[in-house]
């Protein structure tokens, strides 16, 4: 029992503690190496054998310098001097394995002290860094490959955070938008999107963060992009979420549609031209037939009328009346022949289905704004009760393209095109207004007639084609006086059958 005033004796580890320590050093993955002050190796555990390849019989009694590359000798000498002064060192360096192979290692080097505190040797704990180096090298290689791919493919990659700020900007994105990455990283992604798509794209992300509903992920959307110089171009966005613990980020792949849409437009123009030529050939044949068919009733009509005049002069009223009836029959026959030609010319085969008007207009506007040199702001408003319409999407986009393109080309400087969709009865009314110079009185009076134009090099068939398309949909197209300035065009297309007038 201890009494008051006596001190606690120092702790003396039991003899078997040495066996525990020996077991730890024998089973550890790390290499335990001990050397005396001359640098002669005196202890060597299995971990050291696994790292350096020497069995104990091959290395014990040899100088520790056999493990040190020649270019590391000065480093080792400086380390030994510091250890001799009582320091403990930690460093990452290289050592030699059996056979001369160099290997990266992490070393913890400390002096071994006797009971009087004097250094009697050196202890070294070595950890093999080869696997770590290989993993790091593989990660660097993969990163380099990925970077090369992203800088080579046509799609631009942007990574944004849940705050909408840009985290990463690929080389393709730099070339596409004209921004160096350092100018946009940390800025809101909306700087890359033209109005009116800008607010909607930000709203998609905000809605996803609030509700968790995947309104944007894995869905490709066509919007108008905006470059550093203010010019716009059509682009397709594919947005996905990066699954990281505690972090919410989005990948945005962007495909420039300028070339593909321009190519599709040229193909569409070529197909349209071929159809036009084909119909002109058919029309030529029809006109030839018409001339032959109409000539006969017109000749008969003239003969009956001349005969009627002679009969009336001769006082034969009853015979004259019969001749006039025959003349009326021939006039009706000629009218039917002309109507047949008219029906042929106006006939158009369309494939109509329920389409999203906002998406239809966005895609058409992105194409129409392609190549516009001056800054053009597009404003789009769609009433909730007029979101869908039964249309041939390609044909209605051609109408929209003509109207928006005409508006854009009418404005030589910065301007705005406003598109509004609202419900009027069972029809959706689409208005396209601009801030340009407006329509002249002379052109406005004959606006939808073929070959009427205010453009120096225009053919004047665009609005005529628009009228044909809209009327084939059962709608109407017209121009209204603009409230302030510019031009205002409106046209109607049918809403889906049974579509209620309720708003969301």
Helices 393-410 and 357-368 sit at what angle, rounded to 10 degrees?
Answer: 40
Cα distance between residue 33 and residue 83, in whole Å: 15
Domains of the chain in sequence order:
25-130 (3.30.450.20), 153-256 (3.30.450.20), 260-346 (1.10.287), 353-494 (3.30.565.10)
More confident residue, 483 or 279: 483
State the distance between the two ends of the chain, measured CA to CA, in whole angstroms.
88
Contact 432, 391 (CB under 8 A): no
Half-sphere exposure (Cβ direction) of 272: Cα atoms closer than 13 Å: 12
Of 28-32, 141-145, 210-214, which gets the smallest average pLDDT?
Answer: 210-214
Cα distance between residue 255 and residue 271, in whole Å: 26
Residue 458's pLDDT band (cuts 50, 70, 90): very low
The structure's pTM equals 0.41
Q: What is the pLDDT of residues 66-99, one digit of tens each?
A: 999 989 888 888 888 888 788 888 888 899 999 8
Helices (H) and strands (E) counted in the chain, each on its own, are 14, 17
Mean pLDDT of 242-249: 74
Of 114-118, 209-213, 291-295, which gets the smallest average pLDDT?
Answer: 209-213
Instruction: Put the strands of the sheet holding 31-36 in their side by side order.
Output: 41-44, 31-36, 119-128, 102-113, 89-96
Biggest CA-to-CA distance, the chain: 166
**Nearest alpha-carbon partner for 356 in 395, 400, 402, 393:** 393
Q: Which stretch, 25-34, 148-157, 168-177, has highest mean pLDDT?
A: 168-177
Do you know the residue count of the chain?
504
Contact 51, 103 (CB under 8 A): yes
Q: What is the pLDDT of residues 116-153, one digit of tens each?
A: 888 888 889 998 888 777 777 777 777 666 666 666 66
Q: What is the pLDDT of residue 81?
A: 82
State the DSSP code for 496.
P
Instruction: Put the strands of the sheet holding 415-424 in their side by side order.
Output: 376-382, 415-424, 427-434, 488-494, 477-480
The token pair at 129 is 């860094």
Q: What is the pLDDT of residue 424?
A: 93
Contact 175, 265 (CB under 8 A): no
Q: What is the pLDDT of residues 385-421, one digit of tens each?
A: 999 999 988 788 878 988 888 888 888 777 888 999 9
State the DSSP code for 63.
B
Q: Compute, in degrees rounded to 10, the torsion defined by CA atoms 57, 67, 85, 78.
A: 160
Over the range 409-430, which residues count as b (16 or more CB within 10 Å of their CB) and which as e?
Answer: ebbeeebbbbbbbebeeebbbb
Helix (H) / strand (E) containing 292: helix 258-313
* Contact residues for 65 (Cβ-Cβ < 8 A; gap 6+): 39, 73, 76
| DSSP calls for 440-470 | -HHHHHTTTSTT--SSTT--S-HHHHHHHHH
**Cβ neighbours of 95 (radius 10 Å):** 24
Q: What is the pLDDT of residue 386?
A: 93
Cα distance between residue 44 and residue 31, in whole Å: 8
Q: Is 503 helix (H, G, I), strand (E, B) or coil?
A: coil
Ramachandran assignment for 175, one of left (phi > 0), alpha (psi -120 to 50 degrees), beta (any other): alpha
* Contact residues for 146 (Cβ-Cβ < 8 A; gap 6+): none
């Amino acid at each position: 029992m201890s009494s008051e005033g006596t001190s606690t004796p120092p702790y003396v580890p039991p003899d078997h503690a040495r066996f525990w320590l020996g077991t730890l050093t024998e089973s550890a993955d790390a290499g335990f190496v001990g050397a005396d002050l001359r640098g002669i190796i005196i202890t060597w555990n299995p971990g050291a054998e696994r790292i350096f390849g020497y069995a104990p019989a091959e290395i014990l009694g040899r100088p520790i310098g056999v493990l040190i590359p020649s270019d590391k000798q000065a480093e080792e000498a400086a380390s030994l001097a510091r250890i001799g002064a009582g320091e403990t060192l930690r460093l990452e360096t290289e050592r030699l394995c059996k056979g001369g192979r160099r290997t990266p290692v992490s070393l913890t080097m400390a002096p071994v002290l006797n009971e009087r505190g004097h250094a009697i040797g050196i202890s070294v704990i070595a950890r093999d860094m080869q696997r770590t180096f290989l993993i790091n090298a593989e990660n660097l290689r993969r990163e380099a490959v990925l970077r090369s791919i992203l800088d080579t493919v046509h799609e631009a990659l942007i990574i944004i955070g849940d705050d909408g700020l840009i985290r990463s900007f690929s080389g393709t994105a730099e070339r596409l938008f004209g921004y160096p990455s350092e100018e946009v990283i940390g800025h809101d992604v909306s700087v890359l999107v033209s109005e009116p798509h800008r607010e909607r794209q930000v709203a998609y992300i905000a809605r996803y963060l609030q509700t968790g509903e995947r309104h944007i992920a894995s869905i490709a959307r066509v919007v108008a992009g905006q470059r550093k110089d203010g010019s716009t171009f059509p682009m397709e966005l594919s947005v996905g979420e990066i699954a990281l613990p505690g972090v919410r980020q989005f990948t945005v792949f962007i495909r420039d549609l300028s070339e593909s849409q321009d190519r599709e437009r040229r193909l569409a123009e070529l197909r349209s031209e071929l159809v036009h030529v084909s119909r002109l050939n058919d029309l030529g044949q029809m006109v030839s037939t018409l001339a032959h068919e109409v000539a006969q009733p017109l000749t008969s009509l003239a003969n009956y009328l001349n005969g009627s005049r002679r009969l009336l002069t001769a006082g034969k009223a009853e015979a004259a009346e019969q001749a006039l009836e025959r003349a009326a029959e021939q006039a009706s026959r000629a009218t039917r022949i002309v109507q047949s030609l008219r029906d042929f010319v106006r006939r158009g085969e369309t494939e109509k289905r329920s389409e999203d008007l906002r998406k239809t207009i966005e895609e058409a506007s992105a194409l129409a704004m392609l190549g516009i040199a001056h800054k053009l702001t597009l404003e789009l408003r769609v009433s909730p009760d007029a979101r869908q319409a039964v249309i041939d999407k390609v044909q209605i986009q051609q109408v929209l393209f003509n109207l928006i393109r005409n508006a854009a080309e009418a404005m030589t400087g910065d301007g705005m095109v406003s598109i509004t969709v609202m419900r009027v009865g069972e029809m959706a009314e689409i208005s396209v207004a601009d801030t340009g110079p407006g329509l002249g009185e002379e052109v406005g009076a004959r606006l939808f007639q073929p070959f009427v134009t205010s453009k120096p090099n225009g053919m004047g068939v665009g609005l005529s084609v628009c009228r044909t398309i809209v009327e084939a949909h059962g709608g109407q197209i017209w121009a209204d006086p603009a409230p302030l300035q510019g031009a205002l065009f409106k046209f109607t297309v049918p809403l889906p059958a049974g579509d209620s007038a309720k708003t969301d």
